[in-house]
Amino acid sequence: MEYRHGSHNAYDLKYHVVFCTKYRYRILTGEVATRCRELIREVCKSNYVEIVSGSSSPDHIHLLLSVPPSLSLSKVMQYIKGKSSRKLLEEFEHLRKRYWGCHLWARGYFAVTVGNVNSEDVQRYIEQQEHHHKQDNFKISEY
């Protein structure tokens, strides 16, 4: 097992987080998606948060994050969503027109802690999101 180390601690705190664009608009494509990924990486690096895995869909983002114990997950999400929203709206005029209220992300986020046992499963799940969203496997059962 690999632990991350701070000056006075060793830890393995991983979170699977998902957050969506406001109104689930499908804006995370092309240059916007690429720039969003860069911004998220910048925020994480500057706060010593490791991105174990990540996936961007047109209307939401999945991340598997390793967060130092000195930071709360809510603070990390505030930094990620705040900086990415501000910068994307600054840099892409078509987003400013769509999100005139200056909020790119929907309120809140999904988060679950991940232990050693299933972090590989979560990582595989995140990496297969693109394939998953292309499937139309809505089945109706008679039971």
Q: Give the active site residues.
A: 125
15 with 126: CB under 8 angstroms?
Answer: no
Identity of the residue numbered 58: P
Number of residues in the chain: 143
28 with 57: CB under 8 angstroms?
Answer: yes
The structure tokens listed for 42 are: 């910048």
Tell me the three-class secondary structure of 95-131, residue by residue.
Answer: HHHHCCCCCCECCCCEEEEECCCCHHHHHHHHHCHHH
Identity of the residue numbered 86: R
